[in-house]
Structure 1
Amino acid sequence: MRLPVLVGIDGSERAAAAADRAAWEAVLRGVPLRLLHASPRLPGAVVPDSALDRLRDIGAQLLQRTVADLVGRHPDLRVESVQADDAPAVALVAAARDAGLLVAGMRGTGGFEGLAVGSVALLAAAAAPCPVVLVPHRPGTFAEGGPAAHSGSLVVLGFDAHRPVGEAADFAFSAADTHAARLHVVQAWAFPAESVSSRILVVTEEDRASWEDQEVLRLSDVLRPWQEKYPGVTVAGDLMLLHPAEALLNASRSADLLVVGRRADPRAAEGRLGPVAHAVLHHARCPVAVVPHGG
């Protein structure tokens, strides 16, 4: 059986947007949708059993309403619901071990106005063993309809042909294929180290063109296996002489999904992300997929 799509809900509008996105992902993948609501017990707090039961009842009612709403709009969707007593981030990361994709809102009910990404979303993106899609308040066209209705959709993939991340590339190509979207592969690059030595005062146009041609060929060669695997995906490669985070944010202004890789690292349990992933999560206006890899 293929693994389900997992989504965390907490009653917030952002969680509702994430649930919408997760439902479409489950429908298109042909897998169940698993809803998770966490009602954590505060460490050291003395809470009457009646209050704990009331919290679980509130969570159960929220799950029931969400299931009814999603099934009403997606009659073929198979929905499961789960309650947990752990903290939301801990519960999501644990449940993600049995999921093919985790979807969460950029922020939930906590935090403060103006906060771009909440602590739960950051920890989930850093520590979940499966790909994580974080959804802003306005999730984009992927959550509003099927692929036939949105053939103009765009997926942006952050990529480095010198250190290719196969997991991120495969996720991006698969997402573009599933959603009938175009794929824009972005590689940030810089002049070779020898070009900025004290012996070279000016970079000529000929040198720049030669280096850029080499990078274009390398990118094309590295992407070829995925283009052959997903022949229906329209792919455009783009080299940008910018910092990787700036290049991705510029390219994703009109995107429906931005895909970045994240090295699977034991320190991720502390909620750490690389600087590029951290930057795009805080500044991107579209959903961001963070894909773990072992390289």
Structure 2
Amino acid sequence: MTRPVVVGVDGSPAGLAAADWGAREALLRDLPLRLVHAWEWQPGDHDPSASVEGARLWSEGVAQKVTEQLRRRYPDLDVWATRIIGPPRDVLCRAAKDAEVLVIGTVSAGRLAGFLLGSVATAVVARAAAPVVLVRAGAQEGEAASESGAEPPAPRPPARADAPVVLGLDLSHPGDAVITFAFQAAAVRAAPLVVVHGWNPLPYSVYGLGARLTFGADLGAKRRESVSRTLQPWRERYPGVEVSTQAVVGEPARHLLDAAARAALVVLGRHRRTKLPSPPHIGHITHAVLHHCPAPVAVVPHG
């Protein structure tokens, strides 16, 4: 059974940005696209004068309107929409079980502030069974579209042809699924893959460093060798993907954000938590990248 690209849509500009990104991803992967709109009546979320029936009718039209827009924009796209009653977090996590990838939109608070994730996005990223891609929509664009109620502006163009896919590699828990997702994403885009491994030497390992000036270089060489050895099976499996690696000392999130400045996609891993019940958890590095990365970010569960 073919697993579709699934996009959560809610009528917002962020949802429209996610739908457009998901449509392009579905075409790249030669997969169908499924739009999912979750509706849960919340009186506080609507104009007090609005009725439940009015809100329901609005909800029923959301996914259909986006479907029509995408069919006009991408005639070769196989797309359909589903409206499901229930909390968005639960609906999207259920939809992710049958998805190749789940795409959701989030709002930008500006270049310095980065993403505004919200509780739904955070919970879905932390719990979804499929890889989750977060796509950012600009706050100013969103305000303009919401106020006018008109047809949303044309989507931002896809990333430049030479824009790389960036993979954040954790050597302690590399995750086959994470590496595979990154190589596949680079392969379908015919894009280079940049692998970033940030690390900090333990304090005791650099004690007395002045007595051996080559010690730091030795540590770095060993890390680069470990990165290369970890990636070797995927290099052989995807010979057409051009791979460059960075094993750099310092905070991993900072190095990832530097590499992501021109990226088409950033790929990170999330270790599945097996103990239940467990609160949503995405890790501090992923959390930092999600809040500040200008590019779409894929979070891939593994383990």
TM-score, reference length from structure 2:
0.84
Correspondence for 1:182 among 181, 192, 195 = 192
Of stretches 203-212 and 28-37 in structure 1, the one that deviates more from structure 2 is: 203-212
1:158 to 168, 172, 175: 168
Which amino acid in 2 is paired with 1:34? Answer: R
Tell me the residue number matched to 1:280.
Answer: 289
Residue type at the aligned position of 2:239: P
Q: 1:173 deviation in Å?
A: 0.5
Equivalent residue number for residue 232 of structure 1: 240
Q: Residues 13, 182 of structure 1: CA spacing in aligned structure 2 closer, same or farther, 3 A cutoff?
A: same
> Deviation of residue 163 (structure 1)?
3.0
Superposition RMSD in Å: 2.4
Alpha-carbon distance between aligned partners in 2 of 1:203 and 1:103, rounded to the nearest angstrom: 52
* 2:205 equivalent to 1:195: yes
Match of 1:47 in 2: none
Measured after TM superposition, the shift of residue 53 of structure 1 is: 3.8
Is this contact kept in 2: 1:154–1:181, CA < 8 A?
A: yes
Q: Secondary structure at the match of 1:163?
A: coil
Aligned to 2:251: 243
Residue 122 (structure 1) aligns with: 122
**Is residue 233 of structure 2 the alignment partner of residue 220 of structure 1?**
no
Question: 2:116 is paired with a residue of what secondary structure?
Answer: coil
Q: Is the 8 A contact 2:165 2:267 kept in 1?
A: yes
CA-CA distance at 1:268 after TM superposition? 8.5
Identity of aligned residues (%): 40
Equivalent in 268, 271, 289 of residue 280 of structure 2:
271
Q: 1:252 aligned to 2:260?
A: yes
- Give SS of 2:263's match: coil
Change (3 A) 1:268 1:122: farther
Q: For 1:98 and 1:143, locate their aligned partners in 2 and report how far apart those are by CA, in whole Å.
A: 28
Tell me how far apart the structure 1 counterparts of residues 174 and 70 of structure 2 sit (CA, whole Å).
Answer: 37
Report the 3-state secondary structure (helix = DSSP H, G, I; strand = E; otherwise coil) of the residue aligned with 1:278. helix
Between the aligned partners of 1:104 and 1:269, the Cα distance in structure 2 is 23
Q: Retained in 2: the 8 A contact 1:281–1:288?
A: yes
* 1:265 CA displacement: 1.4
1:11-62: CA deviation from partner (whole Å, max 9, x where unpaired) = 111111100000011111122111111210349xxxxxx9444323212222
CA contact (8 A) 1:107 1:118 kept: no
Whether the aligned pair in 2 keeps the contact of 1:134 and 1:288 (CA below 8 Å) is yes
Task: Please name the residue that 2:57 is paired with.
Answer: 57
Residue identity matched to 2:187 = D
Q: Distance in 1 between matches of 2:257 and 2:160?
A: 22
Tell me the secondary structure at the aligned position of residue 282 of structure 1: helix
Equivalences for 1:25-174 in 2 at 5 Å? 25-42=25-42, 51-107=51-107, 116-137=116-137, 144-145=157-158, 150-174=160-184
Q: Deviations over 1:271-292 (max 9, x none)?
A: 2211111111111111110000
- Give, in whole Å, the separation in 2 of the partners of 1:64 and 1:217: 51
Structure 1: which 5+ residue stretches go unaligned?
44-49
Normalised to the residue count of structure 1, the TM-score between the two structures is 0.86
Distance 1:203 1:16 in 2: 59
| Equivalence for 2:4 | 4
Contact 1:23–1:70 (CA under 8 A) maintained in structure 2? yes
Structure 2 unpaired stretches of 5+: 44-49, 139-154
CA distance in 2 between counterparts of 1:114 and 1:151 reads 24
Report how far residue 191 of structure 1 moved: 2.4
Aligned position for 1:290? 299
**SS of residue matched to 1:84:** strand
Structure 1 residue 196: Cα displacement: 3.5
Letter in 2 for 1:293: H
Distance 2:54 2:278 in 1: 31
Q: CA deviation at 1:115?
A: 6.2
User: Which deviates more from structure 2 when the two are superposed, residues 149-158 or residues 249-258?
Assistant: 149-158
Paired position in structure 1 for 2:151: none
CA distances 1:61-101 after superposition (whole Å, capped 9, x unpaired):
22221111101111111111111221111111111111110
Report how many residues are paired: 276
